[in-house]
Structure formats: structure tokens, C-alpha cells
């Protein structure tokens, strides 16, 4: 009896598993994924696209117009973006999500961190680091010629949002904020600063190969709490909100609201798609340091790591089930 019951249970489980597989939907229409202007996002996108292609979809990779990105997703001109850093204050995304115009598909899985960084040798030039208060007294070493009263602070490109600049201003530190032109320009600045042993301070993020290659250190800012963003009396500057460190995590995926109905299985794949910092960071190094193409690095990762991602495709489509 026990054997018969167990056999019946297995059969029921197999049937229920087959039922759970989502419909493929409109396989004739390409799924348009957004490519943005930093290496990690492009890698995340090509890996997600490779999973969708394995499932049987056609994927188009579209260079994003950063200023119109979330409007394009809301209207279905683009169908999904798989790496949105909510800690970088993407106001347009948050507005579109809260208005119900885009669907958030959950966390990507990166243990992400934005922060204020400096090379390790700078600590000898600015006693008191990594505590942020030390920057009040040594801002001059970060000036253009090293002798000015105000330091030069390198922030993210304007199209990314510039939360580092927001922090510097909220903490009332004597720095002039300059937005980098691109991720590559930020890396070039670090390289030149190391070569000259020149002080440099900037907003930067992990995961990124440069964090380990240049041993970049995070400045210790006041611990972030919800009141930091709403109550000026909280924190060291009673006249400003945002005078604290960046929140950790907060890298999400989002899609056009019609995505689920048009491509049910693809929707499930993107919803369950995750990529860890330990997978992404070495790939960024392959591209930015060793000159591999993003597409090549993503294809290589997919080939070597089928055991990590193929179950997500199989669960959504039923592919590979007996």
C-alpha cells in the first residue's frame, strides 16, 4: 500500500509540475531588453537574454535613451530592464512604479553598495579617515592643484542620478561636485590618481572589479535610517535631509505591464532570474580590464554555469522535464 501511495504521489507531482509550466505566448515578437551605460548592467542583460533565447524567444538588445527609459518601458516600446539601482534615486522609475505604469519583478540578487570611496594611500594624507568628519579638515588636498580651499568630488554621470553629490551637499562638506562623463572616465581618473599618488574622492559602487584592483575604501558616513530622508533634524546637518550613508541592496528588475500577458514563461524567467555579486564582478573585470566583449563574457558565463540558471528556464517552460 505504501509503495502504491508513493507511486501515486509521484505521478500527481509530475502532473502538477507539467501544469505549472507557463505558456510561451507570442514567440514571434522579439522581447526588447534595455542596455544601459555601465558594464554590469549590460552583462546582466545579456545573461538574461541568453536565458530567454534558450527558452525559445527572440531577444533584441536596445541601447537605452536614459532620459526616456522608464516612459519607454511604460508604453511597451521597451519590454524590460534587469538592473535598476533604486539606491541611486531613480526618480523616474519610482514615479512610474508608484503610478502603476511599470511592473517590478523583484530583486536581482546583487549585494549592491553605493558609497564615497578613496584610494588607501589617501588615509595618510587625511588623518581621521575613514570617518567622514575628516573630510572637513582635509578637503584642500582634493582640490585641482592640492592647495585650494574646496576639494573636487567626482560624482556619477548625470544620467545615472548623482546620490554621491547629494550626500556631499547634505553633509555640508567643502567640495565642488563634478559629474563624470562615463564609467570609463571614472576608471581613468582612478588609474591616473594611482600613477601620480594624487588624492581622489568619488562616488563608486560594488560589485565592480576596481574596488579590489585599486583597494578602494569606503568613507564611513552616518548610518542610514528612514528619518534621514524625511526629517532634517535627524543627523549632523539640521538643515538638510539625506545626511547619511547609502542604503544597501536595492537592485531590481522591471517590465512593461503587458509583458506577463504576452510572454508568460518569459515573465516567469525574468521574475526568478538572479545574479550574485560573485558571478558579476569577475565578468566586469573580463570586459573592462582584459578587453572581452560583453556578449562574449555573458556567453562564456552561460556556458559554464548552466546548472545555476537552467532550472529557472525549465521551471518556467517545462523544458527538460520527462
**Beta-bridge partners for 114:** 205
Bridge partners, 104 (sequence order): 254
Which pLDDT belongs to residue 75? 96
Task: List beta partners, residue 31.
Answer: 59
Q: What is the dihedral of CA 67, 251, 62, 90, to 10 degrees?
A: 0
Please report how many Cα atoms fall inside a 13 Å half-sphere around the Cα of residue 58, on the Cβ side.
Answer: 5
Q: Which of these, 270, 294, 309, lies nearest to 57 by C-alpha position?
A: 270
Query: Which DSSP state fits 44?
Result: H
In 193-263, DSSP assigns E strands to 202-206, 217-218, 251-256
How many percent of the chain have pLDDT more than 90?
Answer: 73
pLDDT tens across 53-112, in order? 999 999 999 999 878 999 999 999 999 999 998 877 677 888 999 999 999 999 999 878
Q: Determine the pLDDT at residue 320.
A: 66
SS3 (DSSP) at 143: coil
**pLDDT value for 242:** 92
Q: What is the pLDDT of residue 5?
A: 45
Q: State the pLDDT at residue 16.
A: 42
Q: Which pLDDT value is given to residue 2?
A: 39
Residue segments in the chain with a per-residue pLDDT below the cut of 50: 1-19, 322
pLDDT for res 273: 98
The DSSP H or E segment spanning 204 is strand 202-206
Q: Please give the model's pTM, rounded to 2 decimal places.
A: 0.78
Amino acid at each position: 500500500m505504501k509503495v502504491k501511495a508513493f507511486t501515486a504521489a509521484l505521478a500527481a507531482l509530475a502532473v502538477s509540475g507539467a501544469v505549472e509550466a507557463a505558456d510561451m505566448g507570442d514567440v514571434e515578437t522579439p522581447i526588447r531588453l534595455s542596455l544601459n551605460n555601465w558594464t554590469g548592467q549590460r552583462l546582466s542583460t545579456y545573461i538574461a537574454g541568453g536565458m530567454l533565447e534558450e527558452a525559445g524567444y527572440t531577444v533584441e538588445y536596445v541601447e537605452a535613451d536614459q532620459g526616456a527609459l522608464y516612459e519607454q518601458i511604460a508604453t511597451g516600446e521597451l519590454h524590460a530592464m534587469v538592473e535598476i539601482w533604486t539606491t541611486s534615486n531613480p526618480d523616474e522609475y519610482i514615479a512610474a512604479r508608484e503610478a502603476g505604469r511599470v511592473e517590478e519583478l523583484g530583486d536581482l540578487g546583487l549585494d549592491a553598495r553605493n558609497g564615497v570611496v578613496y584610494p588607501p594611500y589617501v588615509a595618510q594624507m587625511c588623518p581621521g579617515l575613514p570617518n567622514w568628519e575628516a573630510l572637513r579638515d582635509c578637503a584642500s588636498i582634493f582640490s585641482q592643484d592640492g592647495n585650494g580651499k574646496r576639494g573636487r568630488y567626482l560624482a556619477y554621470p548625470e544620467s545615472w542620478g548623482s546620490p554621491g553629490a547629494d550626500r556631499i551637499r547634505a553633509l555640508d562638506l567643502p567640495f565642488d561636485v563634478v559629474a563624470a562623463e562615463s564609467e570609463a572616465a571614472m576608471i581613468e581618473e582612478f588609474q591616473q590618481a594611482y600613477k601620480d599618488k594624487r588624492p581622489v574622492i568619488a562616488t563608486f559602487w560594488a560589485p565592480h572589479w576596481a574596488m579590489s584592483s585599486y583597494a578602494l575604501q569606503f568613507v564611513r558616513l552616518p548610518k542610514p535610517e528612514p528619518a534621514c530622508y524625511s526629517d532634517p533634524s535627524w543627523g549632523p546637518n539640521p538643515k538638510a535631509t539625506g545626511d547619511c550613508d547609502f542604503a544597501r541592496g536595492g537592485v531590481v528588475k522591471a517590465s512593461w505591464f503587458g509583458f506577463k500577458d504576452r510572454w508568460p514563461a518569459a515573465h516567469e524567467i525574468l521574475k526568478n532570474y538572479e545574479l550574485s555579486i560573485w558571478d558579476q564582478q569577475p565578468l566586469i573585470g573580463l570586459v573592462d580590464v582584459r578587453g572581452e566583449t560583453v556578449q562574449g563574457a555573458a556567453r562564456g558565463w552561460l556556458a559554464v554555469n548552466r546548472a545555476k540558471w537552467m532550472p529557472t528556464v525549465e521551471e518556467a517552460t517545462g523544458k527538460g522535464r520527462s
